[in-house]
Amino acid sequence: MDSNTIIVEIRAGTGGDEAALFAKELFRMYSRYALKKNWQFQILDSNETGINGFKQVVFKIKGEGAYEEMKQEGGVHRVQRIPKTEKSSRIHTSTISVAVLPMPESKQFAFNMSDIKIDVFKSSGPGGQNVNKRETATRVTHIPTGIVVSSQTARNLEENKNTALNILQAKLLEKEKTERENQISAERRTQIGSADRSEKIRTYNFPQDRITDHRIKKSWGNIEKILDGNLEVIINKFKNNI
């Protein structure tokens, strides 16, 4: 599938506060890369920690070739470094999961609204003066699958509801695609690995100043430069390997 609009979801995994901090750094890398590409960028939902990290952040990117360039970012990202909170200089390993979902056209995937449960609640993040005063945030549950999504960054209930439904639509399309691939290529994945979100696709080793992508067995130096939004060195390598 090729799409100019994608939803990216970053979740902190193992590693506690350190994982949340690196989730924030991955978010910054993708947002700065989108800025370089002149893509539109919008945060849809977020759950911040007390130390300026992200337990979860969901955002939308819209721009020419967005999915084609970003699709290889989906998977488990592993970071190895000495956390800022570590007093004994021990290297910790943390994981962060990234999902890159193409935004389907409405005609590509539809769901029955009778399968949807919608709850509203008070926003807890950015959004202006209405935050924590009016119930404008929306949580949408797809009852048959148990998938739950939310949106709280818009100023009004209707916009948050539409955004949450769009995220749900993308997640359901991704679920259908994964199930179809599972049926078709189970034997092949058993032999070579599935390369899906359950596998560690990339390691950021700070002591050695090295990023390694395990799928194409390629490494790059200068981690800080890449995390500053200079992701094209990795994206271009994937393009050349296809």
**149: CATH:** 3.30.160.20
Is residue 141 in a domain? yes
Phi-psi region of 214 (alpha: psi -120 to 50; beta: other; left: phi over 0): alpha
Nearest to 95, CA basis, from 2, 1, 197 = 197
Q: Is the pLDDT of residue 177 over 70?
A: yes
Q: For residue 84, give the CATH number of its domain.
A: 3.30.70.1660
Query: What are 211's two structure tokens?
Result: 């990023």
Cα separation, 164 vs 172, in Å, equals 12
pLDDT on residue 136: 78
Cβ–Cβ under 8 Å, residues 199 and 213: no
Residues 6+ apart with CB under 8 A from 106: 169
Beta strands in the chain (DSSP E): 5-12, 40-48, 54-62, 75-81, 92-102, 116-121, 137-142, 147-151, 200-205, 210-213, 218-221
Residue 138 sits in the same domain as residue 220: no
Residue 96 sits in the same domain as residue 130: no
pLDDT on residue 192: 35
Residue 43 sits in the same domain as residue 12: yes
pLDDT on residue 106: 55
Domain residues for 123? Answer: 113-189
Nearest to 154, CA basis, from 117, 125, 119, 116 = 125
Number of domains in the chain: 2
| 131-171 pLDDT per residue, tens | 445 567 888 898 888 888 888 877 788 888 888 888 888 88
Q: Last residue of some domain: 150, 172, 189?
A: 189
Q: What is the mean pLDDT of the chain?
A: 82
Q: Measuring CA to CA, how many Å separate 110 from each of 116, 150, 158, 166? A: 12, 18, 19, 10
Is residue 108 in a domain? no
Residue 161 sits in the same domain as residue 218: no
Strand order in the sheet with 116-121: 116-121, 137-142, 147-151
Q: Is the pLDDT of residue 111 over 80?
A: no
Cβ–Cβ under 8 Å, residues 150 and 163: no
Between 172 and 181, name the one with better pLDDT: 172
Is residue 162 in a domain? yes
Residue 84 sits in the same domain as residue 200: yes
Is residue 107 in a domain? no
Residue 96 sits in the same domain as residue 205: yes
